[in-house]
Amino acid sequence: MEIISLNPVQLKIFGYVALSMLLGALIGIDRELAKKPAGIRTNMLVAGSATLLVSLGEVMIGRYQFTHDLVRSDPLRIIEAVITGISFIGAGMIIRRGTEDVEGLTTAASILFVASVGICVAISQILLAIGTTALALLTLRVLAIYLKKHKDQKR
């Protein structure tokens, strides 16, 4: 077995990770502009790692060809592991101040969303990844403007 060999599968995965990171960056820019704790780099890394982990799961299933009855491959377990890791990161971003103020929920949700975008890219759902990134940006930006305006009118 060669230590370094560029094959089409590796190049495809690399391209997918790069695309995921680009889409994650778009959401990260919004979070950065809103001065939130998880900015461009965090969102890029979360999206890229989700794509990489799911893609590597696919490679491992093909490489080891789980055929024994006691060993089965389940792609959903890979996604569950990604979501568990992201949930841990997201939980660390949520802060409760006083009795009513909670901060970081949208940031935690954006991290989870970016991981989902990464999973979409990993399973070749590129248009879905791009479309949902656009929806997330609309949600984060347009609703933020609306909510700020509405909040200012209440004062």
C-alpha span between 43 and 117 (Å, rounded): 11
**Could you tell me if residue 52 is inside a domain?**
yes
Which residues make Cβ contacts (< 8 Å) with residue 23, sequence separation at least 6?
47, 114, 117, 121, 129, 130, 133
**Could you tell me if residue 24 is inside a domain?**
yes
Residue 101 has pLDDT above 80, yes or no: no
pLDDT band at 69 (very low <50, low <70, confident <90, very high): low
**Could you tell me if residue 105 is inside a domain?**
yes
Question: Can you tell me the mean pLDDT for 48-68?
Answer: 79
C-alpha span between 133 and 75 (Å, rounded): 23
Dump pLDDT digits (tens) for 21-46. Answer: 999 999 999 988 988 888 899 899 99
**Could you tell me if residue 121 is inside a domain?**
yes
pTM of this prediction?
0.75
**Could you tell me if residue 130 is inside a domain?**
yes
**Could you tell me if residue 1 is inside a domain?**
no
**Residue with token string 């660390």:** 92
As for how many domains the chain has, the answer is 1
**Could you tell me if residue 124 is inside a domain?**
yes
**Could you tell me if residue 2 is inside a domain?**
no
Task: Outline where the chain has alpha helix (H).
Answer: 8-33, 40-64, 75-93, 105-122, 126-154
- And the tokens for 75? 């792609």
Q: Which domain range does residue 140 map to?
A: 8-154
